[in-house]
Amino acid sequence: MIRAGDLRHKIIIQQNTPTRDAMNAEIDSWADFATVWASIEPIRGKEFWDSQQVNAEITGKIKIRYLAGVISKMRVKYETRIFEIISVINPGEKNSELQLMVKESV
């Protein structure tokens, strides 16, 4: 069960709504799905070397009250940060909370 005091981050859950540009190429466009209060908990971070530069990746868990329709093809925006949703967990299938396992590339 989530305590109200733990939900101190206001996040926006966004869904991809592909559009077409002037050359008729498909481009990603993100539309707001819902704005909710959440708890953001970092789990692990790592740095790795790719394409001759150092990259950082943070894995975390975002807890929200249950919200129907949230799927792993969505993303979370918190202030200027973007989190890719890896999986959506409904603990105990109780429909009281969702745990979003996320990845943020820095």
Its pTM stands at 0.84
Domains of the chain: 4-105 (2.40.10.270)
In this predicted structure, what is the pLDDT of residue 28? 86
| pLDDT over 80 (residue 48) | no
Beta bridge partners of 55: 48
Question: Backbone phi, then psi, for 6, in 5-degree steps?
Answer: -75, -20
In this predicted structure, what is the pLDDT of residue 19? 87
Round the average pLDDT of the chain to a whole number and report it.
Answer: 90
* pLDDT 10s digits, 55-84: 778 899 999 999 999 999 999 999 999 999
In this predicted structure, what is the pLDDT of residue 49? 66
